[in-house]
Amino acid sequence: MGKALILETTFLVDLEREAKRGNPGPAHQFLEAHPDQELCITLTTAGELASGPRMDERGSWDSFVDRFRVLSPDVDTAWAYGQQYRYLRDNGLLIGANDLWIAAIAIVHGLPLVTRNASHFRRVPGLSVMGY
């Protein structure tokens, strides 16, 4: 895969809020600074979006998610998840299960993760994290 970024849920929430306010903020500015990047989300992120109050209708969710390449977990992701889980647990740094699945997919694909919660995700060894 060429130049690509994985957008984490916090980024997408901020992007949507900025759009609804009609006031571009840090999320829009980040995208403007990276115009040639393919934008991806994980299947986990798509599920998190589906559970939110703003995406309670399938059509709205489909329209939003269709803008991105959706990356799904596979056996390599499961292995990465397990290895990262063990490391984070053993070192008292454990993060939530959904966040760890998102991180594992990013690691397997070798792509940076864009998030407002950079310090949280930087606990995960081998994960490239981009804040905004």
Residue 1: pLDDT band with limits 50, 70, 90: very low
Domain range for 84: 4-130
Q: Which helix (H) or strand (E) holds 42?
A: strand 38-42
Show the tokens assigned to 14. 């901020």
What's the CATH number where 102 sits?
A: 3.40.50.1010
Neighbours of 6 (CB within 10 A): 26
| Helix (H/G/I), strand (E/B), else coil: 4 | strand
Domain count across the chain? 1
Neighbours of 93 (CB within 10 A): 14
pLDDT in tens, 23-73: 999 999 999 999 999 999 999 999 999 998 777 789 989 998 999 999 999
Cα 128 from Cα 112, distance rounded (Å): 5
Neighbours of 43 (CB within 10 A): 16
pLDDT in tens, 18-32: 988 999 999 999 999
Give the predicted TM-score (pTM) of the model. Answer: 0.92
Please say if the pLDDT value at position 125 is more than 50.
Answer: yes
Is residue 34 within 8 A of residue 5, CB to CB? The reply is yes
